[in-house]
C-alpha cells in the first residue's frame, strides 16, 4: 500500500495530472471538486436571474422585461437554485469530500457510481439549460398542473431534466447511506460519527425515499403533455390537486434535503470555534433523523388554499407544528454549546452565527405559515417568499459559505484571506436582511408573489429590497475572489489550523489519495475538547 512510501508533498490534487485525470477520477475528493465547480457555475447563473427579478421589480410597471420574460426568469431562478444548487449543494460538494474523511474511510462505498452521479447530474443540467434555446419554460419550478400541461413552452424538456437530476440525487443518497453503514473506521461507532455525517445520513434517507415519487410525477407530466391522459386534468375527471400531493411528497422532504446538511455544517463549525464539546450530541444527531421522519408528514401545508379538504388541512397544520420540535432542539443545543465556550470569530464562525440568526427568523415565520388561519392570509404573498429565502439562503447558503471557508484549508492545503472573508460575511449578511426583511412586510401588506408588477404602494420597500440584492451580489462575487485567490496563492495551511477534533483534520492538508496514511482507529467521540 502507498502508506509505507508516502511522500508528504504528494496529495490527491497532484498525484495524477492532466484534465483527463479529473473527469475519470473515482476519488471522492476530486468528484466533490467537480461538483463544486459545476454548482458554483449554476449558482452564478441562478444568481444572475435573481438579480434580474429584483431589477425588474425596482419600480412598478414594466422596466426591461415583458411579463412573459419575467415568468421565465422567475422559473429559471427557482429551478436552477433548487435542482442544481441547493439540493445537490452541500451533500455533493462538502458531503462527497468529507463524509469518507470524517468516518475514516478511504472512499465512498461505490466510487464508480459516485462519478456516474456527477455525469448524470451534468446531463440533467445541460438538458435543463437547453430549454433556454428551445422555447424556455414559464411554469415556475413547481410545474403546477393544469398550467404545466397546457403551456406551449418547453416544459416537457424541463421536467425530463429534473427527472435526470433526481436520479443523480438518488444515487448520491444511496451511496452515502451504504458508506455510513459499512465503511466506518474501526472504533467509529454510529455514536461517534461527526454531526455533519448524521445530517448527511438523514439527508440521504430523504433523497432515496422522496425522489422516486418526484420522478414518476415528472414522467406523468411529460406523458400528460404528450397524450393528455387526464390524471391531473380536471376537464377529463383528473385532479390537479393530486399533482400537488405527489409533487410535495417529494418537495417538502426536499426542503429538508436542502437544510439538514447545512445544520450539519453549523454543528461542526460551532463546536470547532467554541473549542468545546458539543452540547447534546445525541439530541442533535437524532433530531436530524427526527426532522427527516417528520418531513414526510407535513407536505400538505403547501396546499392549504389549493382545494384540498379542510380535514386534510387541519391534520397537516397540526403535523407541521411538530417540525418545530426537533428544529428547536438543534437550536438550543447549539446555543448551549456556545455558552461558556472559548469562542473566536473567524469567518466560518461568523457564517454559522449568521445561520443561527437567520434560520431562527425563517423557522419562526414557518410556524406562522403552518397555522391554517394565518396562512390563508399569507399564502402566495411575499411573506412566503421571504420565509423560504430566510431558510434556503439565510440557512443553507450561509452554511455553504461557512463550510467552504472552514474546509478550504483541508481541501486545498491553503488558507484564505481572513479579513476579506469577513467582509464577504458582512456584505452577504446585511445584504440578505435588506433584501428579504422588507418582503415580510410586503407580504403582510398583501403583495402577491410571482407577479410581474405591483401597485405603487409597495414601491419603496421593493426599492430597498432590490438594493439589498446588489449587496448580496457583491458579497458572493467577493467570496468567489477570496476562494480563487486562496486556491491560487493562499498561505500554506497546516493539517489542523482550527484545532478541530474530527477525523478529517487528523490527516495532512490536502489529504493523500487514500485519505489516511494508516487506517485510523477511533477511541473517542468527535468533539472531545479539553
Partner 1 sequence: MSTNSHSHGGGHVAHHFRDAEHQFDSGKQGIWLFMVTEILMFGGLFVGYAIFHSLYPKMFAEGASHLDWRMGSLNTLVLIVSSYTMAMSIHHLQKGESNKAFTKLWITVVCGAIFMVIKAFEYSSKFQHGLLPGHLLDVAKTHAEHANLGMYYGFYFCMTGLHGLHVLIGMGLIIWLAIRTKRGEFGPDYFLPVEGVGIFWHIVDLIWIFLFPLLYLVG
Partner 2 sequence: MGSHSDKHSGGGHHSHHIIPQEIYTRVMWALIVLTAFTVGFHYLFHVVMHGSVLAAPVAFLIAAIKAALVLMFFMGLKYDKPENRWIFSTGFIFLALLFVICMLDIFTRISETSTL
Regarding 200 and contact with partner 1 (CB under 8 A), the answer is: no
Q: State whether the Cα torsion 42-255-263-201 is positive or negative.
A: negative
CA atoms in the 13 A half-sphere facing the CB of 486: 25
Q: Are 353 and 399 in contact (CB under 8 A)?
A: no
Instruction: Name the nearest CA neighbour of 468 among 53, 110, 32, 170.
Output: 53
Q: Please check whether residue 174 is in contact with residue 208, taking contact to mean a CB–CB distance below 8 angstroms.
A: yes
- Nearest approach, Cβ of 513 to partner 1 (angstroms)? 7
> If contact means CB under 5 to 8 A according to the sort of partner, which of partner 2, partner 1, none does residue 112 touch?
partner 1
205 or 338, CB closer to partner 2? Answer: 205
- Which partner from the list partner 2, partner 1, none does 67 bind, CB cut-off 5 to 8 Å by kind? none
Would you say 312 or 360 has its CB closer to partner 2?
A: 312
Quote the cell numbers at residue 438. 422588507
Residue 290: which H helix or E strand, with range? helix 281-294
- DSSP result, 129-189: HHTTTTT---STTTT-TTHHHH-SSSHHHHHHHHHHHHHHHHHHHHHHHHHHHH-PPTT--
Could you tell me if 118 and 30 are in contact, meaning their C-beta atoms sit under 8 angstroms apart? no
Give the shortest CB-370-to-partner 1 separation in angstroms: 25
Q: Please confirm whether the linkage preceding 50 is cis (ω < 30° from 0).
A: no
Identify the residue among 24, 37, 66, 186 touching partner 2 (CB under 8 A).
186
Cell representation of residue 452: 410581474
Q: Of 225 and 449, which CB lies nearer to partner 1 in the complex structure?
A: 225
The CB-of-427 to partner 1 minimum distance in angstroms stands at 39
* Cα distance between the two ends of the chain: 35
Q: What, of partner 1, partner 2, none, does residue 132 touch, CB below 5 to 8 Å by kind?
A: none
* 292 is a contact residue toward partner 1 (CB under 8 A): no
Minimum distance, C-beta of residue 107 to partner 1, in the bound complex (Å): 4
Query: Looking at 246, 247, 425, 429, which residue binds partner 2 (CB under 8 A)?
Result: 246
From 344, 518, 523, 528, residue interacting with partner 2 (rule: CB under 8 A): 518
Q: How far apart are CA 217 and CA 244, in angstroms?
A: 10
- Name the residue nearer to partner 1 (CB basis): 217 or 465: 217
Residue 109 binds which entry of partner 1, partner 2, none, CB below 5-8 Å type-dependent: partner 1
Cell representation of residue 53: 427579478
SS3 423: helix
- Give the Å distances, CA to CA, from 176 to 37, 139, 204, 519: 21, 33, 6, 20
Structure letter (DSSP) for residue 396: I
Q: Which of 196, 249, 256, 425 binds partner 2 (CB under 8 A)?
A: 249
> Could you tell which of partner 2, partner 1, none binds residue 495, using a CB distance below 5 to 8 A set by kind?
none
308 binds partner 2 (CB under 8 A): yes
User: Residues 44, 51, 242, 356: which binds partner 1 (CB under 8 A)?
Assistant: 242
> What φ, ψ does residue 109 adopt, rounded to 5°?
-65, -40
Distance of CA 11 to the CA centre of its chain: 29
Please tell me whether residue 519 binds partner 2 under the rule CB under 8 A.
yes
| Binding-residue pattern over the window 68 to 107 for partner 1, x denoting contact by CB under 8 A | -------------------------------------xxx
**Segment lying near partner 1 (by CB under 8 A), choices 222-230, 280-288, 359-367, 396-404:** 222-230
Nearer to partner 1, 208 or 289 (CB): 208
Stretch that binds partner 2, among 34-42, 308-316, 467-475, 496-504 (CB under 8 A): 308-316
Q: What is the DSSP letter of 85?
A: I
Q: How many chain residues interact with partner 2 (CB under 8 A)?
A: 25
Q: Examine residue 315 and tell whether it contacts partner 2 (CB under 8 A).
A: yes
Positive or negative, the CA dihedral 423, 424, 427, 429 is: negative
- From candidates 28, 136, 192, 245, binder to partner 2 by CB under 8 A: 245
- Report the DSSP beta bridge partners of residue 381: 448
Work out how close the CB of 517 gets to partner 2 at its nearest, in angstroms, rounded to a whole number. Answer: 10
Which of the stretches 109-117, 266-274, 340-348, 515-523 binds partner 2 when contact is defined by CB under 8 A?
Answer: 515-523
Q: Which residues touch 126 (CB under 8 Å, ≥6 apart)?
A: none
State the CB neighbour count (10 A cutoff) for residue 310. 9
Least distance in Å: CB of 29 to partner 1? 10
Q: What is the C-alpha separation between 382 and 367, in angstroms, rounded?
A: 16
Tell whether residue 113 is a contact of partner 2 (CB under 8 A): no
Tell me if 289 contacts partner 2 by CB under 8 A: no
Q: Is the CB of residue 460 less than 8 Å from the CB of residue 394?
A: no
Q: Which of 223, 312, 322, 367 touches partner 2 by CB under 8 A?
A: 312
CA atoms within 13 A on the CB side of 380: 9
Closest CA to 304 of 247, 244, 246: 244
Binding letters toward partner 2, positions 409-428, x by CB under 8 A: --------------------
- Which positions from 323 through 362 interact with partner 2, judged by CB under 8 A? none
Single out the residue of 39, 137, 170, 358 in contact with partner 1 (rule: CB under 8 A): 170
Judged by beta carbon distances under 5 to 8 A according to partner kind, the member of partner 2, partner 1, none in contact with residue 44 is none
CA atoms within 13 A on the CB side of 111: 16
Task: For residues 120 and 166, give the distance between their C-alpha atoms in angstroms, rounded to a whole number.
Answer: 9
Residues that bind partner 2 (CB under 8 A): 1, 3, 181, 186, 209, 213, 239, 241-242, 245-246, 249, 296-297, 300, 307-312, 315, 518-519, 521
Residues that bind partner 1 (CB under 8 A): 16, 21, 24-27, 105-107, 109-113, 170, 174-175, 177-178, 181-183, 208-209, 211-213, 215-217, 219-220, 223-224, 227-231, 236-239, 242, 246, 513-514
Amino acid at each position: 500500500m502507498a502508506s509505507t512510501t508516502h511522500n508528504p508533498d504528494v496529495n490527491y490534487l497532484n498525484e495524477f495530472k492532466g484534465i483527463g485525470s479529473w473527469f475519470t477520477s473515482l476519488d471522492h475528493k476530486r468528484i466533490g471538486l467537480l461538483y463544486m465547480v459545476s454548482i458554483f457555475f449554476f449558482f452564478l447563473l441562478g444568481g444572475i436571474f435573481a438579480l434580474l427579478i429584483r431589477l425588474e421589480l425596482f419600480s412598478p410597471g414594466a422596466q426591461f422585461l415583458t411579463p412573459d420574460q419575467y415568468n421565465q426568469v422567475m422559473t429559471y431562478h427557482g429551478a436552477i437554485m433548487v435542482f442544481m444548487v441547493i439540493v445537490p449543494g452541500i451533500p455533493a460538494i462538502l458531503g462527497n469530500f468529507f463524509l469518507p474523511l470524517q468516518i475514516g474511510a478511504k472512499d465512498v462505498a461505490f466510487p464508480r457510481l459516485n462519478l456516474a452521479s456527477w455525469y448524470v447530474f451534468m446531463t440533467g443540467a445541460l438538458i435543463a439549460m437547453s430549454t433556454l434555446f428551445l422555447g424556455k419554460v414559464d411554469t415556475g419550478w413547481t410545474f403546477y398542473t393544469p398550467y404545466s400541461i397546457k403551456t406551449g413552452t418547453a416544459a416537457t424538456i424541463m421536467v425530463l431534466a429534473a427527472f435526470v437530476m433526481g436520479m443523480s440525487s438518488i444515487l448520491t443518497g444511496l451511496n452515502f447511506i451504504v458508506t455510513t453503514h459499512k465503511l466506518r473506521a474501526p472504533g467509529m461507532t454510529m455514536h461517534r460519527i461527526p454531526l455533519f455525517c448524521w445530517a448527511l445520513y438523514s439527508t440521504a434517507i430523504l433523497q432515496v425515499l422522496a425522489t422516486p415519487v418526484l420522478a414518476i410525477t415528472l414522467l406523468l407530466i411529460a406523458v400528460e403533455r404528450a397524450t393528455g391522459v387526464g390524471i391531473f386534468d380536471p376537464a377529463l375527471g383528473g385532479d390537479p390537486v393530486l399533482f400537488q400531493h405527489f409533487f410535495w411528497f417529494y418537495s417538502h422532504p426536499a426542503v429538508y434535503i436542502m437544510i439538514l446538511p447545512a445544520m450539519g455544517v453549523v454543528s461542526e463549525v460551532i463546536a470547532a470555534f467554541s473549542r468545546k464539546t458539543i452540547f447534546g450530541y445525541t439530541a442533535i444527531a437524532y433530531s436530524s433523523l427526527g426532522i427527516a421522519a417528520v418531513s414526510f408528514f407535513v407536505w400538505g401545508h403547501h396546499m392549504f388554499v389549493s382545494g384540498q379538504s379542510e380535514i386534510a388541512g387541519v391534520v397537516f397544520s397540526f403535523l407541521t407544528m411538530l417540525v418545530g420540535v426537533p428544529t428547536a432542539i438543534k437550536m438550543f443545543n447549539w446555543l448551549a454549546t456556545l455558552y461558556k465556550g472559548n469562542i473566536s470569530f473567524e469567518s466560518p464562525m461568523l457564517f454559522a452565527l449568521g445561520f443561527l440568526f437567520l434560520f431562527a427568523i425563517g423557522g419562526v415565520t414557518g410556524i406562522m405559515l403552518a397555522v391554517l388561519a394565518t396562512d390563508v392570509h399569507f399564502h402566495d404573498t411575499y411573506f412566503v417568499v421571504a420565509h423560504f429565502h430566510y431558510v434556503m439562503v439565510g440557512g443553507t447558503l450561509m452554511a455553504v459559505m461557512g463550510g467552504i471557508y472552514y474546509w478550504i484549508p483541508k481541501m486545498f492545503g491553503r488558507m484564505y484571506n481572513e479579513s476579506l472573508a469577513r467582509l464577504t460575511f458582512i456584505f452577504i449578511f446585511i445584504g440578505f436582511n435588506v433584501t428579504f426583511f422588507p418582503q415580510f412586510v410586503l407580504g403582510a401588506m398583501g403583495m402577491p408573489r410571482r407577479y410581474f408588477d405591483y401597485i405603487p404602494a409597495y414601491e419603496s420597500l421593493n426599492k430597498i429590497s432590490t438594493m439589498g440584492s446588489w449587496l448580496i451580489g457583491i458579497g458572493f462575487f467577493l467570496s468567489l475572489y477570496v476562494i480563487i485567490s486562496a486556491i491560487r496563492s493562499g498561505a500554506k495551511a497546516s493539517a489542523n489550523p482550527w484545532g478541530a477534533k474530527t477525523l478529517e483534520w487528523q490527516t495532512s492538508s490536502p489529504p493523500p489519495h487514500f485519505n489516511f496514511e494508516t487506517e485510523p482507529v477511533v477511541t473517542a467521540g468527535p468533539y472531545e475538547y479539553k
